[in-house]
Amino acid sequence: MYDLTGKVAFITGAGRENGIGAAIALRLAEEGADVVVTDICASPTELPHGGNAAWEELTAVSQTIAATGVKSTPIRLDVTKAAEWETAVAQVKEEYGRLDILVNNAGAAIGPAPILHMAEKAWRKTLEINATGTFLGCKYALPLMLAGERGGRIINIASIAAERPRPFMSAYAGSKAAVVALTRSLAQEVGEFDVTVNAILPGDIDTSMKQWGMMLEGVVTGRTQDDVADALVQRIPAGRLGVPADVACLAAFLASDQANFITGQAYNLTGGRELS
């Protein structure tokens, strides 16, 4: 276990109960951190990618976290909007007075398609959420993190797609590769301030967004969603899909003092899928 008592964590894309962000938030809370959870809280028609949460879901996640005995605040946040980042960080400063851990988890795959048929709007929106959203998170959270002169932890959730891209996912893969590059660059900028910056590259994790993706793949390939899932598992040496708690375990370690000499790294968390 890792003692995060007294620390404050800020996690984006944390509104889905079975999502990676919520799992990380709960795990950090179990380690003693106070946790701010955020999500865009958009309707499926506004952001049709299977991963966004309603406000009621986000507040429910926050209540579950608070039930562990720590403090938690839900905040509606569109990670692509600088002004909303400024407002959210100001709220954290007012309520908590510090920020120690930032997890840039919010992500999306908008309109996956062959390049020849991909809408430019889908390409731009995917990069805006995944890459620009991570950039803005680092830019606006860092001043509060640095102000305490206590160091800090930034954990960026990328994807194995950054290293092993699949067809029709060029925008998603490109945006996640950008997150990895940003991680490695920023780590060199802030290392002297005892701030570490690392990335986690999940593989096939069983979330609502993953189920949505498997459903789409089934429609395109003429298979059932179960057939798509079975084919994925056959490529994973561990013999199963990952679960959000798998990602949360690594995030908790990277957020802890035990990882204070690890920075600029990108960790594959795939059950060995990239080896097959």
Residue spans of beta strands (DSSP E) within the chain = 8-11, 34-39, 72-76, 101-104, 152-157, 195-202, 266-269
Kindly report the number of other CB atoms within 10 A of residue 139's CB atom: 14
> Helix-strand-coil percent breakdown of the chain, rounded to 5?
50, 15, 35
Among the listed residues 36, 134, 138, 21, the one whose alpha carbon sits nearest the alpha carbon of residue 80:
134
- Give every CB contact of residue 94 below 8 A, 6+ residues apart in sequence: none
Q: Which of 143, 103, 90, 104 is nearest to 4 (CA)?
A: 103
**Of 2, 140, 172, 267, which residue is the catalytic one?**
172
140 is catalytic: no
Active-site residue list = 172
